[in-house]
Structure formats: C-alpha cells, structure tokens
Amino acid sequence: MTAKVRIFGTVISTYTRIVEITCQEAGLSHETIPTPAHSPQNRHPFGKVPVVEVDRLELIESVSITQYLDNAHNSGALQPRDPAARAVMDRWIAMANNYLFPLFEHGLVMPWIMHRFTGAELDRDMIERSLPNISRALAFLDAEIAKDGAWTTGGFDLADVFLYCVLRGVQLTPQGEVGIAQCPHLSAWMAVTQQRDSIRATCWETEPE
C-alpha cells in the first residue's frame, strides 16, 4: 500500500516545503495540515515545524524526515552513495541549516513576511543591519558554484532541496531578489531548479509563477 505523508506545518514555510518536495520526488502522496509553530497542537518539543506522520511513525527535524522518506520510499535516490559526494551533500545541508537559514530568516525573510501577512511595520533596521552579512553569504555561494560546482554537481540531491528552499524565501523579498540577481551562478542554478517538477508542484500560494 502506498504511504500517505501527513505534514503538520505552516503553509508558507521553508522546512515544510523541503519535506513536500522530498515527497514529490519520492512519488509519495502528501497532505499539509496547517499547524503554526509553537501552537498547542504542534508536537515538536521545541515548537518548530514541520512534524510528520508516515508509516505509523512520528518524525521531526527535516534532515531526519527527508532521509527517512528518501531511504524508505525512494531507494535513497536523493543521497549520493559515494562517501565523498555524500560528505559534500551533508556539508551543504548543514551550512544551509546552521548558518544560512538563521541569517536569512531573521534578517530579511521574516521581517517581510510579518509585514506582508500581518500588516506589521517593516523592520527596516533589522534588514539594514543584516544586509551586509546576507550579501556576503550570497557572494560566497556564488563563488563556490563558480569554483567547483559546490552542491550543484552530480545530480539533484537533498542539498539542492534544502538550498533551494532556504534561498527561495530570500529571492521573494525585494532586497533578496536584487542580491541573488547580482550572483550569476547562483541565479542560473535557481532558475534551472525552479523548473523541476517537484519544485513547481510545491510553490507557495503567494509565489509568482
């Protein structure tokens, strides 16, 4: 019987989308049940989203969730078997989660989301303070692709899923759109990745085509 994946998370969420894309890649049917972070109905011990139900398991943490889905339902097709290539993928996922996401999310993406969806005043001070570090991070990614392809070589894998989702939120802000456009290698990779079926199938409602 085909597994059905139940994803409890906010609808516009980097990490919810990472799990949705992985489901799409694995051909798994999935449903996202809107569940705010830190809400009483959210079962993550630290209030984060998403939480996932599949195969009678309750899973948290996107690295663990995506690897389980890919291993159990997709023959591990999104993870290189070669140990060196695997180390490269794991390195980029760790950098996306530990450094890039916090920098982008707090410094740029969240101020715009709060402004656009709750009507809160745009936190321009926060954005101004964060932009130099965000620009440096984007330039670093661009240079890494230019140097040796970084995470973009060797086929589409989980590093592409994480990096795309973390960067897409940035690209949907005015400053992020300009910043990414100034990085030719990163822009080209975003544009190609955006055409992939799993990415197109999981667009946020608010995302322009």
Ligand X SMILES: N[C@@H](CCC(=O)N[C@@H](CS)C(=O)NCC(=O)O)C(=O)O
Residues at the contact surface with ligand X, assessed by CB under 6 A? 13-15, 37-38, 47-49, 61-62, 97
Nearer to ligand X, 15 or 151 (CB): 15
Q: Is the dihedral of CA 182, 123, 14, 166 positive or negative?
A: positive
Output the smallest distance, CB 110 to ligand X, in A: 9
Structure tokens at 158: 């989980």
- CA atoms of 62 and 169, how far apart (whole Å): 17
Output the smallest distance, CB 65 to ligand X, in A: 7
Q: Are 89 and 151 in contact (CB under 8 A)?
A: yes
Output the smallest distance, CB 162 to ligand X, in A: 9
Output the smallest distance, CB 148 to ligand X, in A: 27
Output the smallest distance, CB 147 to ligand X, in A: 27
Nearer to ligand X, 13 or 198 (CB): 13
Question: Residue 67's closest CA among 78, 56, 58, 57?
Answer: 78
Nearer to ligand X, 57 or 181 (CB): 57
- CA atoms of 181 and 175, how far apart (whole Å): 10
Helices (H), 45-196: 62-73, 83-95, 101-104, 110-118, 124-148, 158-171, 174-181, 184-194
Nearer to ligand X, 65 or 145 (CB): 65
Output the smallest distance, CB 1 to ligand X, in A: 27
Buried b (16+ CB within 10 A) or exposed e, 2-12: ebebebbbbeb
Nearer to ligand X, 46 or 56 (CB): 46
Structure tokens at 163: 């990096």
Nearer to ligand X, 61 or 144 (CB): 61
DSSP string, 70-89: HHHHSTTTTS-SSHHHHHHH
